[in-house]
Amino acid sequence: MLVDVIPLRHRGQRLPAATLRMRTPIRGQLWITRFRPAVDKDTTPLLAALLRDRESLLPPLDWAEVRTVRSWQLIVTGIEDLGFSEKAPQLFRQSWWCRVVLDDETLRR
């Protein structure tokens, strides 16, 4: 689904409301799946990605959950991987505020 997204955290730290209000949303296709090659699909956690033309616009969220849904808005939470290092993994909690982008046809349904 087409959504506008504002990441709510930076390196795991919640951003202040004033900072979030100044941010420009990133528009893309929200993709949530269990698909991972060569992994048991019954136990695989959800993966969320924001894509445009098959290109990732934000680091994907592993162990994704849809936390809140209301009035065409949702919060997707998960673990953001900003790069792997055996000595210092770069895994952080992240939440995306998402607003579904509606067109005239969607509103008529």
Interval 58-107: pLDDT, tens? 999 999 999 888 889 999 999 998 876 677 778 899 999 999 998 755 54
- Expressed in angstroms, the distance from the first to the final Cα of the chain is 16
pLDDT confidence of residue 63: 92
CB 102 within 8 Å of CB 3: no
Give helix then strand counts, H and E, for the chain: 2, 9
Q: Note if the pTM is more than 0.95.
A: no
What percent of the chain clears pLDDT 70, i.e. is strictly above it? Answer: 85
What percent of the chain clears pLDDT 90, i.e. is strictly above it? Answer: 62
- Residue 108 — very low, low, confident or very high, per pLDDT cuts 50/70/90? very low
DSSP string, 17-44: HHHHHHPPPEEEEEEEE---TTS-TTTP
pLDDT confidence of residue 37: 57
